[in-house]
Amino acid sequence: MPNLSRRDFLKIGGLTLLSLSANPLKPHAEDQQPNFTAPLIWHGSRRFKRIAFTYDDCYLLYRMHTLEELLDQYPEFKVTFFPVGAKLLNLEEQDAGIWKRLVAKGHEIGCHSFEHVNIGVMSPSGALADYDKWYAALTQVLGEEYPVRFVRPPYDIISPTLDILCQERGLVAALFSVGGGGEPEIVFNAIKKAQGGDIVQMHIRTDDYNSSVLAFPWLKENNWELATMSKLYADYLQEEINPPGCALDTGNDLTRTCAE
Ligand SMILES: [Zn+2]
């Protein structure tokens, strides 16, 4: 987790194990998916003024570069990329070190399948093989093992096979609560109405880049934190394990919460 301290990381690791145990943490009522037993997140804790911007597919190197330049203007903003495996390799060929550079800047990477196939139509063994192929591509471009925590299913399809993949590979299914992908002015208006903990789904496309150009200055002026999926998920787990009335502060440091 690039932007978490070692202590935070260990704590989250323990909490995640807890969430995967025989007595899983109960998801928010509105988040429940019938028959889906692996962890699944639509949004993080509503208690914090944090929002996660996520960028799927990552097909276009040019748009990756312009987004990276935009993000460089807001070094405190961290986002999560959900590239397909084929593009991990392809973009690396065109710009050696691109993924390492993004991770070094504190951004996060999650899985979006190797070739954008609906995981729901894969067999369980096929889905595991597809993930392993994606993970091998990630390891190749980063030059080292990376702690992948999230999978965004292609076409946002929640399926029994996705459930098995998450359980077998220790992944959290990452959905979203605010959709990008439209006219930038409309998306910007939706972002202005966002709540703490929202997950915004973007793609590496011109419209979504332009929406980000509009939104980032406004988010900064209005004291929003752009956080990785790991950060948002850590908030979510903290909220789940803290009893009602437990006073969480609004700081960034997980060690200052009731979960001590
Ligand atoms: Zn996609």
pLDDT in tens, 132-143: 999 999 999 999
DSSP 96-147: TTHHHHHHHTT-EE-B--SS---GGGS-HHHHHHHHHHHHHHHHHHHTS---
Position 7 pLDDT exceeds 70: no
Residue with tokens 């299914």: 173
**DSSP alpha helices (H): ranges in the chain?**
6-20, 61-72, 85-94, 98-104, 124-142, 160-169, 184-192, 206-221, 229-241
CA 53 to ligand 1 centroid distance, Å: 14
Type of residue at 99 = W
Instruction: Kindly list the domain boundaries of the chain, sorted by start residue.
Output: 38-240
What's the whole-number mean pLDDT along residues 116-121?
A: 97
β partners of residue 55: 81, 202
CA 118 to ligand 1 centroid distance, Å: 9
CA 156 to ligand 1 centroid distance, Å: 8
Predicted confidence at residue 13, as pLDDT, reads 47
- Are 120 and 156 spatial neighbours (Cβ–Cβ below 8 Å)? no
Predicted confidence at residue 24, as pLDDT, reads 36
CA 57 to ligand 1 centroid distance, Å: 5
DSSP state of 233: H
CA 169 to ligand 1 centroid distance, Å: 20
Q: Which CATH superfamily is domain 38-240 in?
A: Glycoside hydrolase/deacetylase (3.20.20.370)
47 CB-contact burial (10 Å; exposed 0-12 / middle 13-18 / buried 19+)? middle
Position 6 pLDDT exceeds 90: no
Predicted confidence at residue 49, as pLDDT, reads 96
Predicted confidence at residue 241, as pLDDT, reads 80
CA 81 to ligand 1 centroid distance, Å: 11
CA 77 to ligand 1 centroid distance, Å: 22
CA 60 to ligand 1 centroid distance, Å: 13
CA 74 to ligand 1 centroid distance, Å: 25
CA 45 to ligand 1 centroid distance, Å: 25
CA 241 to ligand 1 centroid distance, Å: 32
Find all residues with CB under 8 Å of 207, minimum gap 6, and list them.
180, 181, 182, 183, 184, 187
Confidence of residue 27 (pLDDT cuts 50, 70, 90): very low
CA 56 to ligand 1 centroid distance, Å: 5
202 CB-contact burial (10 Å; exposed 0-12 / middle 13-18 / buried 19+)? buried
CA 116 to ligand 1 centroid distance, Å: 6
The mean pLDDT of the chain is 86
β partners of residue 51: 226
CA 155 to ligand 1 centroid distance, Å: 6
Position 59 pLDDT exceeds 90: yes
CA 206 to ligand 1 centroid distance, Å: 15
- Which range has the worst mean pLDDT, 3-17, 28-42, 215-229? 3-17
| Token pair for 202 | 């973007």
Q: How far apart are CA 112 and CA 125, in angstroms?
A: 17
Confidence of residue 20 (pLDDT cuts 50, 70, 90): very low
Find all residues with CB under 8 Å of 251, minimum gap 6, and list them.
none
pLDDT tens figures, 168-192: 999 999 999 999 888 999 999 999 9
CA 153 to ligand 1 centroid distance, Å: 7
Confidence of residue 56 (pLDDT cuts 50, 70, 90): very high
